[in-house]
Structure 1
Amino acid sequence: MKDDTTIRGLAHSETAHDSAIKHVTGRADYTDDLPEPQGLIHAYLGLSECAHGRITGMDFTDTLAHPGVLGVLTAADLPGVNDVSPNGKHDDPVFAQDHVLFWGQPVFAVVAESRDQARRAAQKAQIEYEALPFALDPIAARDAGHDYVTDPLTLRRGDARAAMATAPRRIKGRFGIGGQDHFYLEGQIAMAVPGEDEDVVINVSTQHPSEVQHMVAHVLDVPSHSVVVNVRRMGGGFGGKETQMNLFACVAAVAAKRWNRAVKIRPDRDDDMIATGKRHDFVVDYEVGFDDDGHILAVDGDWYARCGFSADLSGPVTDRALFHADNAYFYPDVELRSHPLRTHTVSNTAFRGFGGPQGVIVAERMIEEIAYALGRDPYEIRRKNLYRNGQLTPYHQPVEDQILPRIFQELETDCDYHARRQAVLDWNAKAGVIRKGIALTPVKFGISFTATWFNQAGSLIHVYSDGSISLNHGGTEMGQGLNTKVAQIVAEAFQCDISRIKITRTTTEKVPNTSATAASSGSDLNGMAALDAAEQIKARLIDFVAERWQAPRDEVRFIPGHIRAGGQDVPFDEVIAAAYMARIHLSAAGFYKTPKIHWDRATGRGRPFYYFAYGAAVSEVSVDTLTGEYVIDRTDVIHDVGRSLNPAIDKGQIEGAFVQGAGWLTCEELWWDDKGQLRTHAPSTYKIPLASDRPRVFNVKLADWSENAERTIKRSKAVGEPPFMLGISVFEAINMAVASIGDYREPARLDAPATPERVLMAVNRLRG
């Protein structure tokens, strides 16, 4: 093997995504592209058509008579537990047994020779229900006396009620915040291959292979060592494959063992959207007290969440909503309460930002309310209330790395914010049909799993005798470039060309007990674990080289393509071959756990986050007041990723996150009818942002002067989730454009998403 004289590792961090060419040429293998074993059969789910009811009868006569059908699986056919809940609450069955709790809940699965046969046969089943009352939204659930799916949380610092009572000014409001479908390009899919004894191998599109292993083992009633879970890559996840894939993997595994044949399950897009969880909808009641200068004095709020029929991840999601209800602002006295309410809808789950966006946007709504009450630019109010280092968050973690003032200054200068805002005001003063808005909004986002035990990762590195390197870690690749970043870290550690490194599929056979690739922690955790493994092998090689080439140990150096010892630069290949002959162990398992973090949920105090990532965006929009339609004219972003591991990948993540965040707040709307059926369940009825919806001018810049104060991998910062919330700048800009109709006497108070219909109704309200 040959090495370039310039290492394409972290020193040259524009390394292309390892699968980029495969993606654009269609040669990347996803789960559905894997070679199908001989005798493969297919499963398909049968979904309920009742929002809440008692199952009074199930007739599969016509289903079983359909050509190619091998059988039907129900709850009675599961060897182990009928449960795929990720939290130990045992409230999320594989198949409904006596009751159905939402329209679209899986009741059975048909297994047939072909997917089309299984799908058509499932539609012939006759399920009878005794309908029961249901509640779909969180306020209706609260008023109906529904229980919580999990324990609520209260964050409290100071005395919010007393401070509110003495505040010179107070504002109360209610804010409806919509959910969002993940709309991953590759839908849910699993293929199970039975082995001897209790063994089964699952190829699945999942962000959490170890959880799939755990769930399949319990449903089959076998030990975890009998279940192997493999993931090469996903065609998108966004949190929708953190827990929601458990169901599909378990159904495939049960069918595979039952018929002793490989089984694949892949739902249609409609059924995928109906049967799997979304971003949590919230209704938030808030009150803010402030002074005549716009300083926030007190905040009180209730976050009512549509959690669905079971807990899933609603506990940590609603917790994180409260953790980010301050966004970038200091609340001197504050009390925040979550209400994770049970509703007769699909169980909502993780989604990029994991509840954080639903906290951040409320902070921005309160800032907007204060600004309009005082007749000020909201940006001025934002600057006044930014955290200063040493101040405590509502969960009593001190802010110690505040860099937003510098980001603000740089961004407002770069994009000429003040002149552009005045131009917007001048344009709107003409009272034309097209109204403009501009907004500058920040984000402060905490990085770490709030479930402390998830903040760990493992890796496995083999250096083969020819000098090639096999790299495996517990993270999963869903297009975000994690594998490329981790390979760069290993390449720099060995000072070898990245082409030497083979990034192997994620598998529970190599790295056990892994955490989900979520919470923006993929590079932080797996990068450090891989570095740990590389450093172990390097230490052995240094000892060997020092002895073999008679050099002081502290003078042995890894340099591009070579190891320097005693005045000699020995080629990497030669050192590795000699080390193998000398019986040096050239394999290592790495491990990392995040330091410093701790969290006591009972008291609402601790340090749940290792550090904060920061950013800010300015967005300008044009709104047609006759139709409610709008375009994003321009967006400027400065985002903090610390010392970037790969600027090209990081900028791509920021751009994608921004557009996805803007889509959540503008065009992506979930709608249930009066029977409890989700009607926005296909591309024809659910609108994700298109390429044409991106900002007409889109400038993204990294805060390349930033360096993580904590000892993260190469002093980088997470990038997956934080920039999602920069899309709030679009929502705020739309609000300004609409508020111009009433001469800015009051805010538009749009609920999210700000669809053209909602915009038009707000325009008409302000005109009235």
Structure 2
Amino acid sequence: MSNHPDQQPSQQAMEAAFRESLVTGASRAVKHESGEKHVTGEAQYVDDHLQFPNQLHIQARLSEHAHARILRIDTAPCRAMPGVAAVMTAADVPGKLDIGPVFEGDPLLADDRVEYVGQPVLAVAADTAEQARAAADAAIIEYEPLDPVLDLGEALDNAHYVLEPHQQQRGDADAALASAPYRIDGELRIGGQEHFYLEGQATTVVPTEDGGMLVHSSTQNPTEIQKLVGEVLGVDMNAVTVDTRRMGGGFGGKETQAAAPACLAALAARLTGRPARMRLSRADDGMMTGKRHPFLARYDIGFDAKGRFHGVAIDLAANCGYSPDLSGAIVDRAMFHIDNAYYLGEARIRGYRCKTNTASNTAFRGFGGPQGMVVIEEIIDRIARHLDLDPLEVRRRNYYAGPDRNVTHYHQVVEEAIIADMTDDLAASADYAARRREIAAFNAGSEILKRGLALTPVKFGISFTTTFLNQAGALIHVYTDGSIHLNHGGTEMGQGLNTKVQQIVAEVFQVETDRIRITATNTDKVPNTSPTAASSGADLNGMAARNAAETIRQRLVEFAAGHFRVTPEEVVFRNGHVRIRDEHMTFEALIRLAYLSRISLSSTGYYRTPKIYYDRDKAAGRPFLYYAHGVACSEVLVDTLTGEYRILRADILHDVGQSLNPAIDIGQIEGGFAQGVGWLTTEELVWNAQGRLMTAGPATYKVPAVSDMPEAFHVRLVESRKNPEQTVFRSKAVGEPPLMLGISVWAAIKDAVASIGDYRVHPRMDAPATPERVLWAIESVRPPADGDARTTFEPGDSREVEDMPG
């Protein structure tokens, strides 16, 4: 279509087009903007960039000790190797050595001691990756081994912390516990999780004029990379530009952990004046970088005859590894989500950030929330077994319900109590009651194979709990041919963020998404960006982009109203056209006319989340703008001879408000569920007695496969429900909440095992529920044979076999 107003289509044609609906704006199932590139292999990731002339490759030499003093480093053998351009130790860093994201404690290269197996001690820059690895291996490093702390329970018992504990309290938990009709206590260990992104940590750095650096990094946090590279080199942030087009997965693993490769490559580029690239092998990535935090929970719970909470005291201890990283906020979020969808009443929650000599654990999808939720779901199941009730009934009785049961233990009011209605909806559509009866009959007649069923909820708070991170920027240019350039501060890691933001801008201008080109996240276009995390990517960046687009549209409306002498209300955008009173023109014709009349067609946009705050001293506030909700019903089949199991069916109902893109949202729900199931069933991290990770690759670490997915898998979105909060087009976040839907599978496995004891004894089963742990759990509930000396259980007793391995 021509851009010139004199070459417009006929008025009749434009009127007809104007009446049609926009097909790629907000709330449409638009395909992922890079989907075709992903499946054809055309999508470019950092390591796909063409090599620069004279480019170097970086390889780090990793510590072989969990805790040791460095006595001597001899780099002469490295320097004698062919192709070596630089050997870097802590002494070669011209600026700040520490690259901790919030608190110090993360040296780029170990200085006087090492604190985990896999910590970088030195790095080599050479002409090829093979030469760099050989040279790094040639270095001579002498250590004095020190005693490491490797067990989370030991760290907790000895107050071995990276940060001080924090407490949240509502009412008098001790008094409530003392007067409770029933009371149980126990502990639960929850394993960590490897991010296992398809694209590992990767970066390319090119030196520029005046000591500057252009950094191509696979990172969720470009501004932090910009800041840390500047600090390590001793230059201002304005000398460093970070460019991130896309990542091959992140899941939180590239929020802070991308910093070390970027800073090492930048250091090599500074020392040699040559471009430098660092791409971690899968094994090195597994050794160097942190995981989801393993947790240890100890609880003391009071409840009444109906299963309602009557006093709650829970201690949450996280294995933070050797340094703080983001553990402060992660443990906070675990504490915030210890209630999940339940009103705790009188409650005291303590959070401990424990130090061990392992890699510093970091952000992972859910950011501590999943660990908190698993604890309360374990407690609900124990209460149900103790009272001989259906666990779903106990869940329903404890749901938030206003106005007397709608305040959390951190004093935020739960304003939207929809989880009960969603539970009723899913229980009906999944035929929960009838299947529960059928499963009980099946288990009574089946000695070896047992089926289990569980329906669990999710209530997940949306916003960064670090308040200042809840801000975002965007940049939009409209060119004279009517095409649109869009840039925002979020990063694309496959989750469809760019597609959603593109749809938002298309909706504002009422044009097709094909007209909008999104470019790489770049710190010299949108500055001071927050990480793409906390499920807030679309909420923050979508609102910022909407703000920029609305600014330009308002200029166009005011211009058109003045130019054509009509009221602003008579200027209407729709489906690529503009109606001005009774006349029609194409969008690009109006843009061209506005340009000729010297109207600015470029704007920045900005957004900050309203209403949120948290007073840490009072342990009270409103840390979340709103909650996202979901419910999942899962059925499993367990072989009691081997501990193996499979998922027979999963039904999910999830609330995304007014969906920005139903197709992408359903994909995120399915993927999040799969990742949650993997965390709680197959993905087991194992360290040996020396602190070396033994599951650093796919040969020993089992992520879910297609064969692990439910044989029947039904996913629905809550229909006709908009977010009551004023988010972008009343949508809700969808990135993290679905992961917790996988808890239903873990609960269903326990339900199958509990059937062996007629559902009256709660099985002792830590997470992940590997076949070995399932077998141990089976032994903990199996009625003893005649003459068996094992501990026995009376009906209704919820005690556990303490000597069974966890």
The answer to whether the superposition gives a TM-score over 0.5 is yes
Structure 1 counterpart of 2:692: 677
Structure 2 counterpart of 1:118: 132
Matched, 1:385 2:394: no
Q: How does 1:310-709 map to 2 (within 5 A)?
A: 310-390=323-403, 391-709=406-724
Query: Which residue identity lines up with residue 196 of structure 1 in the other structure?
Result: E
Indicate conservation of the 8 Å contact 1:45/1:267, yes or no.
no
- Provide the rounded CA distance (Å) in 2 between the counterparts of 1:32 and 1:139: 40
Structure 2 counterpart of 1:298: 311
1:101 aligns with one of 115, 133, 137: 115
Identity %: 54
Give the deviation of 1:591 after TM superposition: 0.2
CA offsets 1:525-552 (integer angstroms, 9 cap, x no match): 0000000000110111011111222211
Structure 1 counterpart of 2:794: none
2:181 aligns with one of 157, 165, 168: 168
Indicate conservation of the 8 Å contact 1:389/1:398, yes or no.
no
Structure 2 counterpart of 1:134: 148
Give the deviation of 1:145 after TM superposition: 4.4
- Provide the rounded CA distance (Å) in 1 between the counterparts of 2:317 and 2:249: 29
Give the deviation of 1:455 after TM superposition: 0.3
- Provide the rounded CA distance (Å) in 2 between the counterparts of 1:592 and 1:152: 33
Query: Which residue identity lines up with residue 364 of structure 1 in the other structure?
Result: E
- Provide the rounded CA distance (Å) in 1 between the counterparts of 2:698 and 2:609: 40
- Provide the rounded CA distance (Å) in 1 between the counterparts of 2:461 and 2:164: 22
Aligned to 2:301, the other structure's residue is in SS state strand
- Provide the rounded CA distance (Å) in 2 between the counterparts of 1:389 and 1:206: 42
Q: Which runs of 5+ in 2 are unaligned?
A: 3-13, 785-806
Structure 2 counterpart of 1:735: 750
Matched, 1:58 2:73: yes
Indicate conservation of the 8 Å contact 1:662/1:730, yes or no.
yes
> TM-score if structure 2 supplies the norm length?
0.94
Indicate conservation of the 8 Å contact 2:632/2:741, yes or no.
yes
Aligned to 1:763, the other structure's residue is in SS state helix
Structure 2 counterpart of 1:289: 302
Aligned to 2:713, the other structure's residue is in SS state strand
Give the deviation of 1:434 after TM superposition: 1.0
Indicate conservation of the 8 Å contact 1:10/1:646, yes or no.
no
Matched, 1:713 2:728: yes
Structure 2 counterpart of 1:225: 238
Segments ≥4 residues shifted beyond 3 Å:
1-6
Aligned to 1:426, the other structure's residue is in SS state helix
1:44 aligns with one of 55, 59, 62: 59
- Provide the rounded CA distance (Å) in 2 between the counterparts of 1:287 and 1:569: 70
Query: Which residue identity lines up with residue 97 of structure 1 in the other structure?
Result: D
- Provide the rounded CA distance (Å) in 1 between the counterparts of 2:614 and 2:754: 41
Indicate conservation of the 8 Å contact 2:292/2:364, yes or no.
yes
Distance 1:287 1:12, change over 3 A: closer
2:169 aligns with one of 152, 156, 165: 156
Give the deviation of 1:144 after TM superposition: 4.0
Indicate conservation of the 8 Å contact 1:437/1:622, yes or no.
yes
- Provide the rounded CA distance (Å) in 2 between the counterparts of 1:90 and 1:328: 35
How many residues in Structure 1 have an aligned counterpart in Structure 2? 766
Distance 1:537 1:145, change over 3 A: closer
Give the deviation of 1:751 after TM superposition: 0.1
Give the deviation of 1:382 after TM superposition: 0.3
Indicate conservation of the 8 Å contact 2:56/2:277, yes or no.
yes
Q: Which moved more, 1:538-547 or 1:116-125?
A: 116-125
Indicate conservation of the 8 Å contact 1:8/1:498, yes or no.
no
> TM-score if structure 1 supplies the norm length?
0.99
CA offsets 1:304-325 (integer angstroms, 9 cap, x no match): 1100110000000000000000
- Provide the rounded CA distance (Å) in 1 between the counterparts of 2:112 and 2:362: 24
Aligned to 2:458, the other structure's residue is in SS state strand
Structure 1 counterpart of 2:777: 762
Q: Which runs of 5+ in 1 are unaligned?
A: none
- Provide the rounded CA distance (Å) in 2 between the counterparts of 1:551 and 1:55: 78
Give the deviation of 1:620 after TM superposition: 0.1
- Provide the rounded CA distance (Å) in 2 between the counterparts of 1:455 and 1:11: 22
Indicate conservation of the 8 Å contact 1:270/1:681, yes or no.
yes
Distance 1:494 1:303, change over 3 A: same
Query: Which residue identity lines up with residue 495 of structure 1 in the other structure?
Result: Q
CA offsets 1:307-354 (integer angstroms, 9 cap, x no match): 011000000000000000000000110000001011101000000000
Give the deviation of 1:749 after TM superposition: 2.3
1:723 aligns with one of 738, 750, 759: 738
Matched, 1:308 2:316: no
Aligned to 2:590, the other structure's residue is in SS state helix
